[in-house]
Structure 1
């Protein structure tokens, strides 16, 4: 009986699916939202026992499209490879007329959403979002903005702010950086007038008093955030940056289901929920056919906005 019991246990253990060692591409330099998302996924997936090993690899450039192209070409059929993407990547694909798009990989799930924040250095004479809007109206080119990649959420936010202020959005002086760390250094060094990025990327510096938070792009004021919305300031702009994870192209249905199950475990874990709270990320988890439909809608809406503010013809 003992032999039978041990044999049954061994047989049961052998039939359990092996845990995957994942390689996770963050298609930007360290310090930005994609990098933060990837490293948070790494930490939680390992801590929660979803994967024994998650390796994060940074492949920066062109709003994530360089990393996306490399990922798609090198990983066909590889169920252990993942890439972080989102709104910024959708915009960059359109503005760069990139040869590779999200149609060339296997979208798995939307994970988080985060609102945009507009900041200036603490030493700036600009005290309010109203002051910044007035400066923009007076001379759009004299107001320089640091943000992420051209055509991404940050760029779109500045274009929408300009349009809401009655300024030609094609006249804005937007300086694109490939990583959040580089943009932050330019803002802190007063090399630009203002900065725009997801709130979480500025939070530590705002709390430390080195940056002044002027406004956020949410519909209503955010709990615990001492700043008005753009709408409160008379600028009718609401914008949320969402982030997603995709798998490689060429996966079987069984492989896709396994990856989706792992990402669902991540999204529903206590460790992930704790990180969302700590970082101020909104839980926007969505997968399967619903996510595929939402992604198609988001791509169409992003293209419409980019045309509206003159970034895509």
Structure 2
């Protein structure tokens, strides 16, 4: 779907392939002999399979399995309305400490851009897990060998009647890929309202169009395409974090000459109405998860930064993010533009 931010939109709906991975049951160890059976811990993903939220949730589940920290973990996808279908489901699970919602910056953006009646602040904040920079990527055979090459071509094509270069994003409007694209366009001197982009339901659906040159470049989380980057299928032109990413041969935007940092993050919410004891037990489980060598290895392998934050500090962070992202959305005129899930 090629979109002009703030303007008319020509719809190109993504296929239904992601629906094939709509649910996944991951057995995690077993209960000790004689221990009472416990309901599975359910991790709800608000987007189709294949994206950053999905991969993060499944990494949590696999780590819980491999370390024996939980009895059974079920990961299931509930996409719809830019992630707010899953948020609504969570808010109707009052007091259920066996369900968590995988969320992050993207869900904050979609709630604010859509103006939905139920907010993240109605849920129980559990933990911020990781932070991840965005990456500007092109196919290995792209004519753009550097971020500077891309910017020159992007600006040269602006307003020439052809629509300019087309970016790919794997998040909803108001999500991390989209916000990064708009902020980068602004930083290089382009009008965000004139930026063309195709939106896909996660990085999994975006890879083929990117490799097939149906988009000129893409914004994505570093970890989502780590295998394609390592295999030489994709080239990273820049990363949006404060420092270079280990194993990725690309400068930061600041090093490339643009004083901009955009960092995505992901965390977990629980339903409302948890007791202090329930909340403490869920937090204790994640404390133990974070301390495992397996989780630390997952951070390194995926280019994720340990951004662990719990309790009142995570609540304060969420409130600050709502204010910060709200200001960006208002300034870029993105309110009411949310579309799909990603």
The alignment's TM-score, normalised by the length of structure 1, stands at 0.90
Aligned to 2:121: 103
Is 1:173 aligned with 2:196? yes
Deviations 1:220-257 (A, max 9, x none): 22332201111122222211100001111121222111
Compared CA separation, residues 251 and 101, structure 1 to 2 (3 A): same
Is 1:130 aligned with 2:152?
Answer: no
For 2:39 and 2:69, the matched residues in 1 are separated by: 8
Whole-Å Cα distance in 1 between the matches of residues 232 and 302 of structure 2? 18
Q: CA deviation at 1:19?
A: 5.8
Offset at residue 185 of structure 1 (A): 2.2
Q: Does 1:145 align with 2:167?
A: yes
Gaps of 5+ in 2: 1-31, 337-342
Match of 1:5 in 2: none
Larger radius of gyration: 1
Matching residue of 2:97: 79
| 1:62 and 2:81 correspond | yes
Cα distance in structure 2, aligned partners of 1:279 and 1:220: 15
SS of equivalent to 2:86: helix
* Structure 1 segments (4+ residues) deviating >4 Å: 16-20
Counterpart of 2:3 in structure 1 is: none
CA contact (8 A) 2:128 2:309 kept: yes
CA–CA distance in 2 between the matches of 1:310 and 1:138? 24
- What is the aligned partner in structure 2 of residue 183 from structure 1? 206
Rounded Cα–Cα distance in structure 1 between residues aligned with 2:49 and 2:38:
27
Alignment check: 8 A CA contact 2:61 2:75 kept: yes
Residues 188 and 229 of structure 1: CA distance in aligned 2, closer, same or farther (over 3 Å): same
> 8 Å contact 2:165–2:196 — kept in the other structure?
yes
Q: Which stretch has the larger CA shift, 263-272 or 75-84?
A: 263-272
Could you tell me which residue of structure 2 aligns to residue 23 of structure 1? Answer: 42
The TM-score, its normalising length taken from structure 2, stands at 0.83
Measure, in 2, the Cα distance between the counterparts of 1:278 and 1:167.
34
Q: Is the 8 A contact 1:77 1:251 kept in 2?
A: yes
Secondary structure at the counterpart of residue 291 of structure 1: helix
Distance of 2:234 and 2:81 partners within structure 1: 27
Unmatched 5+ residue regions in structure 1? 1-12
1:245-299 Cα deviation digits (max 9, x unpaired): 1111121222111111112111222221111111111000000111111111111
Distance 1:174 1:90 in 2: 21
SS of equivalent residue, structure 1 residue 236: coil
What CA deviation, in whole Å up to 9, does each residue of 1:114-154 have, x standing for no partner?
00000111222222111211222223432111111111111
Which residues in structure 2 correspond to 1:215-234 (within 5 Å)?
Answer: 215-234=238-257
Q: Which has the higher helix share?
A: 1
Higher mean Cα deviation, 109-118 or 129-138? Answer: 129-138
- Secondary structure (helix, strand or coil) at the match of 1:115 reads strand
> For the Cα contact (< 8 Å) 2:129–2:306, is it kept in 1?
yes
Per-residue CA distance 1:191-221 (angstroms, 9 max, x = gap): 1111111101122111111111111012222
* Contact kept? 1:76, 1:249, Cα under 8 Å: yes
Q: Note the C-alpha offset of 1:28.
A: 1.0
| Contact 1:217-1:230 within 8 A present in 2 as well | yes
Aligned match of 2:268: 245
